[in-house]
Amino acid sequence: MTRPQARVSDQVLCAMFSVTPAGVTVPGTSAIIPPCAPTVLVGNLPAARIGDLHPSGTGPHPNVSSSATVIIQNMPACRVGDSTACGGAITKGDFTVLTGG
């Protein structure tokens, strides 16, 4: 199954909960941080791979699931829907570049 390719700055829904100023507990959002794959650009942004990080209130969390068939700079490519170490998932990517499974 193909899914949109994730890139640096694409959104991640982090499963580590945070508390809003109103006292409501919600999952947090974050974004994939550099460097990712600086020589492989998708929509003019570096492509995300397994092991690339997103920050949160509990520290950085790596991407832990990815494509089994697409390799970028010797690491599997990450796509929308792939999971992160905190139990979250990548929620935004480049919908013009579909990466196989």
DSSP per-residue letters across 34-91: S-SEEEEEETTEEEPBTT-EE--TT--EEB----SS-EETTEEBPBTT-BBTTS-EE-
Tell me which residue range forms the domain holding 71. Answer: 3-99
Q: Which residues of 29-52 are buried (b: 16+ CB within 10 A; e: fewer)?
A: ebebeeebbeebebeebbbbbbeb
Looking at residue 19, what is its pLDDT?
Answer: 67
Q: What is the pLDDT of residue 33?
A: 96
For the chain, how many structural domains are there in total?
Answer: 1
The pLDDT assigned to 6 comes to: 98
Q: Average of pLDDT values for 22-42?
A: 88
Q: What is the CATH number of the domain that holds 89?
A: 2.60.200.60
Confidence of residue 59 (pLDDT cuts 50, 70, 90): confident
Regarding predicted confidence, which is higher, 26 or 32?
A: 32
Q: Which of 85, 71, 12 is nearest to 37 (CA)?
A: 71
Q: What would the two tokens of residue 11 be?
A: 């959104």
